[in-house]
Amino acid sequence: MVPMVLANCQRCSKKDWNIVKCNYCGKLVCNSCLKTMKHVRKRHISKLYICKSCWTALPMRKKYRHNIPVEM
């Protein structure tokens, strides 16, 4: 369990407790900027997050679909 920290979203600047790192642009995003997440079985990563910006970029969405992170 990762402790939650109050941080600023790097996409909409909102302060939120539930900030996660998008695995496609590397930005820290809030819950409303996060498009979706999923659990994966990878050596360095257990969850994949993708923000709404990256979701609209087809190459990023394709990588997400194939469980390939861009940013760790």
> Which residues form the interface with Zn ion (CB under 5 A)?
9, 11-12, 14, 22, 24-25, 30, 33, 51, 54
Least distance to Zn ion, CB of residue 8, Å? 9
Residue 71's nearest CA partner among 20, 7, 15 is 20
Nearer of residues 36 and 39 to Zn ion, judged by Cβ: 36
Name beta bridge partners: 29: 20
Nearer of residues 8 and 39 to Zn ion, judged by Cβ: 8
Nearer of residues 5 and 12 to Zn ion, judged by Cβ: 12
Non-local CB neighbours of 8 within 8 Å, separated by 6+ positions: 14, 15, 16, 19, 28
